[in-house]
Structure 1
């Protein structure tokens, strides 16, 4: 009897933030509210992105749309996987093996976020090639190579975090709402250094290198155009002069990438500090983790607000839904006249 009471108390008092605990509902209200709110935003936002890409042919003009769609599908799966910690906090997973559940869930979310990070790096490389080699771009970036690159992203992401099943350590904090993850599964410096060296650092350096060169080249083209117009006048310029038509699109993708790393930077810093045994706190783990996961919604939000073709596609999708709704209402009225 005493052991059962102690077990129930240990389950009831396990709240990472230790705020908003409800004795009535026997759950951590604040954690559940945060996770469910993000789950709804991530799933709904990425579903809209996926539907718009399928309904707007203009968005398929850029090869980067394949990477953006890959990122949207990965972020959608992140949103779906957020239901697992919600069910755990609501005590609907008490019959499952905590260690196995925690390991699988942590691995799955880390792989999905790795796909997003690698996709953003590939997007920056794609725009870099498009601007630095515009004449040979179509020969270099073929549909076959594009599909192969997406497959390699998924394979590489799956392999990076595979050592987490071999007792190398915790790959991330996404499963800390399961008690075993928080109390018994620790990070290890070697595995953390391996993840940073194999994923975080190469992706960040690639993005910094490519976008720095993209905007430098665009500034040079803009300066050349301004000098020609000042020298010959606007009527003397030729339509084929070196402009930078991809600058606006690159700017949108740069915003997405910047927000991605801004939201993930606290998570990565805490990951390094905790692995080095410098600082560790459950609340910091929870906050940095779900701040990083919120990026799965921010991606689609920034893209929808910044890209004109996407806004047109979204408007077209809304009009299509309204037309179908009106058609359905008229059909019902015709079958059942008043």
Structure 2
């Protein structure tokens, strides 16, 4: 937004007015501050709330503690931490145009962001693999995707995310050279050279994107072929009904596939384009990074709210029926 020369917004403000080393900050009106804080706070609270519902649902109800849902549970934990830790801090930095949390947190916080975002993305890949095995290798699913193996995959996801991102930050001297992260007081930057940006682009975006797209495409065509095979085996009396069900399943599978891929790409592509474009300003990167964080906002809607059990469990949680000691053994879905 452009302001005239006599605008009060053109007055120079400093992050730390009493320091000669202070960075400048963007001047805002009280209404702008209030509106921005309400906006970012609302997104953060809703992200935490919806992911907390997923966590409570799967943790409380025994029937929901399947290998598949364990991935969704761990994904919800990662997304809840993004909503409860990353979003408030990044929201404050966008509103204030300054970093007020000190050098120590400036050194540590980028690692938290990278680990949580990578873990969230890793869980999406594991969920895709789980669904691939369930649809394309149904006879091997029970032996392949056990609870123990799901837990092992979850641990692997978190550990690999931590090791990869700590290595990335150390190699680029973000952890052991804090002076490199700021040129003035009130600034906190994540600096990664172009070569490592390309490497990170491949491992953190292109590769997961290719895996997700390929697996969901295979799942869609396999599900369609199975539906057609079932329809062909039905008696002539029920053929029309079964055909309608088959076409409905095809449309639902296509819709889910489209939503997953579209949201994933829309949340991630703008951010990676911005960090690879030299003309991109830091404020542009901060704003577009929120699109990436929004993936944690919509993940529960895509991976949980489309499941019938989630709506049933919400009713039990909201009405406090889960306080009953026997409620954990309730059957939320028909056997």
Q: The TM-score by the shorter chain falls in which range?
A: 0.7 to 0.9
Q: Is the 8 A contact 1:59 1:310 kept in 2?
A: no
Q: Say whether 1:160 aligns with 2:167.
A: no
- Provide the secondary structure at the position in 2 that maps to 1:203: helix
Partner of 2:299: 299
Partner of 2:4: none
Partner of 2:69: 65
What is the 5 A alignment of 1:92-111? Answer: 94=100, 96-97=102-103, 100-111=104-115
TM-score (norm 2): 0.74
Q: Is the 8 A contact 1:35 1:86 kept in 2?
A: yes
What is the 5 A alignment of 1:174-213? Answer: 179-182=186-189, 185-213=190-218
For 2:25, which of 2, 5, 14 is the aligned residue?
14
- Cα offset, 1:130, TM superposition: 1.2
CA 1:254–1:134 in structure 2 vs 1: closer, same or farther (change >3 Å)? farther
TM-score (norm 1): 0.73
Structure 2 residue runs without a partner (length 5+): 1-15, 176-180, 240-245, 325-335
Distance 2:133 2:79 in 1: 26
Q: Is the 8 A contact 1:169 1:191 kept in 2?
A: no
Q: Encode CA deviations 1:97-117: one digit per residue, 9 max, x unaligned.
A: 2xx422311111111111111
Partner of 1:330: none
Partner of 2:236: 233
Structure 1 residue runs without a partner (length 5+): 237-242, 325-338
- Cα offset, 1:251, TM superposition: 6.5
- Cα offset, 1:315, TM superposition: 1.5
Q: Is the 8 A contact 1:256 1:302 kept in 2?
A: yes
CA 1:95–1:73 in structure 2 vs 1: closer, same or farther (change >3 Å)? closer
Q: Is the 8 A contact 1:49 1:300 kept in 2?
A: yes
How many positions carry a matched residue from both structures? Answer: 295
Partner of 1:283: 283
Q: Encode CA deviations 1:167-225: one digit per residue, 9 max, x unaligned.
A: 51779xxx99x94235xx53311111121222322211111111111111111122223
Distance 2:99 2:164 in 1: 28
What is the 5 A alignment of 1:51-62? Answer: 51-61=56-66
